[in-house]
Amino acid sequence: MYERHIEVPPLQVRAQWYLDARHFNRVRAALRQLGPELRLSPPGLKHLDLILQRDAWVVVDRVLNDMPVVAWMEFRASGRTSLHEPIPCELRFFHAYAGMIMNRTLDAMERSLAAELAACATRNHGRRILPFPAPGAAG
């Protein structure tokens, strides 16, 4: 499990950051179906990888021995009443230009995870999807 984002002091911390719910929901679904930790190499971000864990998403620099660049962590999603509202979290910058790659990373992540989840659904032939009970059926 990657933990350097906890060990290395950040340059800047934004305690009240809001993450788009579509990104959060996609990552939670991917972690549930594909494994407890995922590592993606987003296209267009030469030597950067994105490590996805339940409690943190961290962009790391492979060339610098996986030094963190930016991290989303401390997601406050418990008790939310709808799936479309932004998720409060903490954003940590470890590099001066971390803000420049955030949106590109999230967009690339979205495309990569959509493809992985579609491939997983094809392999499983939909076995993980449960049908709704028929109307009026006793539950």
Q: What is the pLDDT of residue 127?
A: 55
* Predicted local distance difference test score (pLDDT) of residue 83: 87
**pLDDT (0 to 100) of residue 116:** 85
**CA distances in angstroms from 42 to 50, 74, 108, 112, 134, listed in the order given:** 7, 23, 5, 8, 42
Residue 129: what pLDDT?
Answer: 55
pLDDT along the chain (139 residues), means of 10: 89 94 92 92 88 95 94 91 91 92 91 86 61 60
The pTM score is: 0.83
**DSSP state, 134?**
P
- CA distances in angstroms from 85 to 29, 104, 127, listed in the order given: 17, 21, 29
